[in-house]
């Protein structure tokens, strides 16, 4: 008996949902059939006028009392100093004109007698003995100077860490 009750409840729920669907669809169709109402006219709200600001009135400021004019004592007169007069400079005595003695004139020199210098005999240069050709032995290797390698060593590769490598694909 449990099944017929359950069947009845399910069919009733189905009929109710179907009827509500029909009502909704009829309501939508009814809306489509009605003529569209014109949109309401937009009205701009009026802004109320603000009151005019008024400045506060103040009482007039009291007048400043007039101060008595201070009478300054007269300044003492500056005494006039006598004009300084400098004594006249002594005159520089004029020196007598120096007269230079006349220099004696150069006597004319007699030309030197031409004398012939005897030419000296040219000595013969001595012949130099010839030196034998000497061959030097090769230089020994110098232990002081370092020897540099001519090849660049290769850099060893870093082994991979399995933690950082991706897992193998199966």
Please tell me the total number of residues recorded for the chain in this structure.
170
DSSP 67-115: PPPPPPPPPPPPPPPPPP-PPPPPPPPPPPPP-PPPPPPPPPPPPPPP-
Each residue's pLDDT, cut to its tens digit, for the chain (170 residues) gives: 455 677 777 777 777 676 666 666 777 666 667 677 777 777 888 888 888 888 878 888 888 888 788 788 888 888 888 888 888 888 887 878 878 778 777 777 777 776 677 777 887 887 888 888 888 888 776 667 667 777 877 877 777 666 666 777 76
Exposure of 154 in the CB half-sphere (CA atoms within 13 A)? 3
């Amino acid at each position: 008996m449990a099944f017929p009750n359950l069947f009845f409840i399910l069919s009733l729920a189905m009929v109710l949902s179907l009827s509500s669907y029909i009502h909704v669809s009829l309501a939508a169709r009814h809306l489509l059939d009605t003529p569209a109402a014109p949109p309401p006219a937009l009205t701009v709200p009026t802004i109320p006028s603000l009151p005019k600001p008024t400045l506060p009135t103040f009482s007039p400021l009291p007048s400043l009392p007039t101060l008595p004019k201070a009478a300054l004592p007269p300044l003492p007169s500056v005494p006039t100093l006598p004009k300084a007069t400098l004594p006249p400079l002594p005159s520089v005595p004029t020196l007598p004109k120096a007269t230079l003695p006349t220099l004696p004139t150069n006597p004319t020199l007699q030309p030197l007698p031409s004398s012939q210098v005897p030419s000296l005999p040219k000595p013969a240069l001595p012949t130099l003995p010839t030196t034998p050709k000497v061959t030097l032995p090769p230089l020994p290797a110098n232990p002081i100077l370092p020897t540099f390698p001519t090849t660049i060593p290769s850099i060893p590769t870093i082994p991979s860490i399995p933690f950082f490598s991706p897992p193998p694909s199966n």
